Amino acid sequence: MTHQHLPETGRAPDEVLGDLKKFASDDPDYKDGRIWSLVYHINEAHDDFAAAAYRQYSSANGLNPAAFQSLKRMESEIISMVAGLLHGGPDTCGVVTAGGTESCLMAVKAYRDLARKKRHVTRPNMIIPATAHVAWFKAARYFDVRARLLPMDKDLNTDIRKLKRMINQNTVMVLGSAPEYPHGTIDPIAKMGALAAARDVPMHVDACVGGFILPFMEMNGTEFPDWDFRVPGVTSISADLHKYGYTAKGASTILYRNLDLLKSQMFVYQDWPGGVFASPALLGTRPGGAYAAAWAVLQKVGIDGYRALAAQTSEAVDILKAGIGDIEGLHVLGQPQGPLLAYGSTDSKVNIFAVADQLEKKGWGVNRVQNPNGIHAMVTAQHLAVAKQYLVDLAESVQTVRANPELAKTGGAATYGMMAHVPLRGMVKSKVLDVFAEMYRAGGGQLHLEEDKNPPLPERLMAKYVQWRAKRG
């Protein structure tokens, strides 16, 4: 990729927009439901509506809530609507963030600071499931809070038998997921909340995925164990709007049971020469377009619309679970309870990563999980139309792999299999970091694997790693 320079003269708008359209030619085919993560798409008309709402406030800035009071009104109404869905009380409060990761970061920052203030904690730790989203590990690194892990049991559920003993004077928070990403399981929130409350430790529920679908699945008749503010020990919840809320990216929420908790999230600096500065979350500039699009979509879709989307998603999940169970050599991992699932192989002749390779050759976007190895699917309403075809292609892929065992030693199957068994995880981290960083070199952004025009990002990283290992012998 050649180094790009700012044009000497501005280009024609149609020409620029045409380039943008060309850039997307190799992007995942999300509009036809061929990808199982990253995108939550209903249809073009819905995207146009969200874009129109976004455009009205694309230059507005939520940094100062006293300036753009329209944005503060939207934010307050969004938080109120989400609080209602999550069974919050009259004191429930919160903010709109730029995404689930910001919401997770803010919870760790808030509870670390609260523990410093109330209990003078200087070596903070938080207790999180091993299946917690990687954003929590990022938060631990950013805010210097030690992450202590609850392991999985034999059924891939979070094992909380040691939780009571793990909570100590330095514990600033306990985390549960609803659901967790790898297997779609809802953690035992009620039991975890009771144990946390008994020690006066806050508990956060990561419902970034589930916050805008579990309530509507429940309205449709699906039974879940209590996981939201109905659990007395739950003090905060994160719920993304741009996932199953189908709003424009990026928009998430973090809600607290009361204002005293939220205050610990906020930042104030009173001695800046530019004036007294206050910020409710991580970002300074807060894009008004995301607020407007989120508010508008919530109004447009409504409870009946979200219930319909949840029903379609549930039907797609049921079709996939049944179909995977009918394919010899495959099984669903764990006990998924919401819109996420993963499946692996029970047959030594069927390498699940080789199956993933075959699905990609058939035009599907595939996500892989590890420990245990599997293929992941984040199911949306859009997937109802393609679920049966996916199962046909999956069955054919399994047959191909079973008949050709050498496929386990080629392509992504080889690279992912190798990475899963390299014992020196620090070396893996180092090499992936090197390759990943190269993608952000000025004028770069490509890994130059000429033999594979546009493989998925992990495979590009893995391929580079395998090349490096081969040279090292």
What is the reported pLDDT for 455?
Answer: 47
What's the rounded Cα separation, in Å, for the pair 276 and 144?
27
The DSSP line for 404-433 is: -GGGGGSHHHHHHHHHHH-S-HHHHHHHHH
User: What count of residues does the chain have?
Assistant: 473
Residues of the chain within CATH 3.90.1150.10 domain(s) are 305-412
Tokens for 302?
A: 């409504």
What is the reported pLDDT for 63?
Answer: 77
What is the reported pLDDT for 286?
Answer: 84
Nearest partner of 136 among 160, 117, 108, 116, judged by Cα: 108
Round the average pLDDT of the chain to a whole number and report it. Answer: 89
Pairing type for strands 171-177 and 125-129 reads parallel
Tokens for 278?
A: 């206050």
159-164 CB contacts, 8 Å cutoff, 24+ apart: 160/187, 160/188, 160/191, 160/192, 160/195, 163/127, 163/192, 163/195, 164/195
Query: Is 172 in a helix, a strand, or coil?
Result: strand
What's the rounded Cα separation, in Å, for the pair 282 and 279?
7
Nearest partner of 33 among 386, 395, 456, judged by Cα: 386
Compute CA distances 430 → 371, 424, 427, 434, 436, whole Å.
Answer: 20, 10, 5, 6, 10
Nearest partner of 341 among 378, 309, 372, judged by Cα: 378
Tokens for 425?
A: 């995880």
DSSP 8-state assignment for residue 87: T
What's the rounded Cα separation, in Å, for the pair 209 and 223?
17
CATH class in words for 305-412: alpha beta
Q: Is the pLDDT of residue 452 over 80?
A: no
What does the pLDDT look like over 308-342, one tens digit per residue? 999 999 999 999 999 999 999 999 999 999 999 99
What is the reported pLDDT for 196?
Answer: 98
What is the reported pLDDT for 32?
Answer: 81
What is the reported pLDDT for 444?
Answer: 56
Q: Residue 419 burial by CB count (10 A; 0-12/13-18/19+): exposed, middle or buried?
A: buried
What's the rounded Cα separation, in Å, for the pair 282 and 142?
12
Q: Residue 407, CB half-sphere, CA atoms under 13 Å: how many?
A: 21
Confidence of residue 426 (pLDDT cuts 50, 70, 90): low
Residues of the chain within CATH 3.40.640.10 domain(s) are 54-299
Domain 54-299 has CATH 3.40.640.10: yes
Helices (H) and strands (E) in the chain, counts: 15, 13
What's the rounded Cα separation, in Å, for the pair 199 and 254?
23
pTM, two decimals, is 0.87
Nearest partner of 339 among 219, 178, 229, 189, judged by Cα: 178
- Residue 308: CB partners within 8 Å, gap ≥ 6? 381
Tokens for 453?
A: 């025009």
Give percent of the chain with pLDDT exceeding 90: 70
Asked which of 169-183, 186-200, 270-284, 456-470 is least confident by mean pLDDT, the reply is: 456-470
Pairing type for strands 330-332 and 340-345 reads antiparallel
Confidence of residue 362 (pLDDT cuts 50, 70, 90): very high
What does the pLDDT look like over 107-126, one tens digit per residue? 999 999 999 999 999 999 99
The gap from C-alpha 302 to its chain's centroid, in whole angstroms, comes to 23
Confidence of residue 68 (pLDDT cuts 50, 70, 90): confident
Nearest partner of 195 among 183, 184, 187, 185, judged by Cα: 187
Alpha helices in 24-99 (DSSP H): 44-56, 69-85
Confidence of residue 454 (pLDDT cuts 50, 70, 90): very low
Give percent of the chain with pLDDT exceeding 70: 87
Asked which of 58-67, 107-116, 144-153, 208-217 is least confident by mean pLDDT, the reply is: 58-67
Query: Is 330 in a helix, a strand, or coil?
Result: strand
